[in-house]
Amino acid sequence: MLELAVRQRLGDVELLSGLARLVLVLAVVNAVVALAANKWRDDRPSDRFPGIVQDAAVIALFMAIGTVLLREQLLTTSAVGAVVLGFALQDTLGNLFAGLAIQIEKPFRVGHWIQVEDREGQVHEITWRATKLRTKGGQFLIVPNSVIAKEPVLNFSEPTVPTRVEVEVGASYTTPPNDVKRAVHEAIANAPLAMRTPEPQVVIKAFGASSIDYLALFWIEDYAADRLARDQVRTNIWYTFRRYSIEIPFPIQIQYERDEAPMRTDAHVASAADQLGSVDLFATQPPEARQRLATVARHHLFAAGEAMVRQDAAGDSMFVLLSGQARVTLEPSRQEVAVIPAGGFFGEMSMLTGDRRTATVRAIDDTQALEISAADFRELALANPALLDHISGVVTARRTGLDEARASAVAAVVPEAKQTFLARMRKYLHV
């Protein structure tokens, strides 16, 4: 009995001693791994040694050393324990090893925008079990690491942060493709979120059943704003197509009839002619002359924020605002020079002398404008030679006021004499 008690006591002491050694081993392993990945070290390997990998290293080293120290006790139960744990933790272990692979290979990082199958979001956190994505709607989407390991992952944030997005639009077969491409490029240029570099592209995607399908390809800096960027481009395409009379055909599925409302009715023309009467340049003209001018001039609709003309661009026309407002700014400082209300006009220098645009004019809200070209104005001037004398006085006085307004942003321009300006107009208009 005494011998049995002594043996049992020795066994307990040996077990306690083994446990104490295991605790010491765990502490030492933790310390070694922590020092190896110390975040305060200048040469720390933290990018390749994240928290989940550190924990895995601690467990692996602890089990290896523990097996050596307590070989007899551990080997007896290790085989059975491994089988039981393998079946019980099959999914958990799959997620765990997939998480380790993600942390080590780093196909994406926290903050990246990724897509897994049809799941899309910004990486918020990578844990042992799953990757947490924040969707564009603001919700959290938890995707198991094993799913990410099996499926293709599309990373929108690498290798470069700018991302290319696409917008598809159809145009009528009657419009030449080059005209459509120019209009789409103009629409992209007026979208604030669309980058100028890399240069946008417009290509023909297919010849559809009722339209030629075009693909607008442009770049944005932040993928989180892709929906807003697409909205801006699509909105600008509608307004730009309308200005250039480019039709977006209705899908042809069934035969139907509908009454087409003309884009410019007699009432629109009459209203424009009345508004020309309130413009200083045309106030002295008889009603029938203003009616003819409103008939031949082009009617446009500009979206809020869209550039109606750009500084230094070539031009041979002026604009009269039938509704809405426009803001005049100087590039590149974008300093505001004036706000043009409904009934106001701009661009008369380009129409009268062929000068380049001296400022950028953007619509403040949806704006309807009448564009009068040099050719349209020339017919009016030939019918009424005294019109040039009247206009030269109005424009000279207007330029003096604009030069004073610009004096704080650019060097003041000395207004040219009325006679010199009148001679330039006659030479350009051939009257």
Boundaries of domain holding 135? 108-155
* Whether 374 and 298 share a structural domain: yes
Number of structural domains, the chain? Answer: 4
The answer to whether 249 touches 172, Cβ cutoff 8 Å, is yes
* Whether 284 and 218 share a structural domain: no
Report the range of poorest mean pLDDT among 234-243, 335-344, 404-413: 404-413
- The Cα 321–Cα 347 span in angstroms is 11
**Average confidence (pLDDT) over 30-57:** 57
In a domain, 191, yes or no: yes
pLDDT tens digits, residue range 207-265? 998 899 999 999 999 888 899 999 999 999 999 999 999 999 987 666 656 666 566 77
Confidence label for 378 from pLDDT (cuts 50, 70 and 90): confident
Report the range of poorest mean pLDDT among 53-62, 96-105, 329-338: 53-62
In a domain, 195, yes or no: yes
* Whether 211 and 289 share a structural domain: no
* Whether 67 and 181 share a structural domain: no
In a domain, 20, yes or no: yes
In a domain, 117, yes or no: yes
In a domain, 7, yes or no: no
pLDDT tens digits, residue range 140-182? 888 888 777 778 888 888 877 788 999 999 999 999 999 999 9
Provide CB contacts within 8 A for 264, sequence distance 6+: 299
More confident residue, 418 or 128: 128
Confidence label for 367 from pLDDT (cuts 50, 70 and 90): very high
Confidence label for 81 from pLDDT (cuts 50, 70 and 90): very low
Can you give the CATH number for the domain in which 272 is found? 2.60.120.10
* Whether 128 and 149 share a structural domain: yes
* Whether 238 and 359 share a structural domain: no
* Whether 83 and 138 share a structural domain: no
**DSSP type of residue 71:** H
* Whether 84 and 125 share a structural domain: no
- The Cα 419–Cα 344 span in angstroms is 25
* Whether 331 and 215 share a structural domain: no
The answer to whether 320 touches 370, Cβ cutoff 8 Å, is yes
More confident residue, 265 or 134: 134
* Whether 361 and 294 share a structural domain: yes
Can you give the CATH number for the domain in which 169 is found? 3.30.70.100
pLDDT for residue 124 is more than 60: yes
Confidence label for 364 from pLDDT (cuts 50, 70 and 90): very high
Inter-CA distances, 268 with 294, 321, 327, Å: 9, 13, 24
* Whether 342 and 394 share a structural domain: yes
In a domain, 29, yes or no: yes
* Whether 296 and 408 share a structural domain: yes
pLDDT value, residue 192: 94
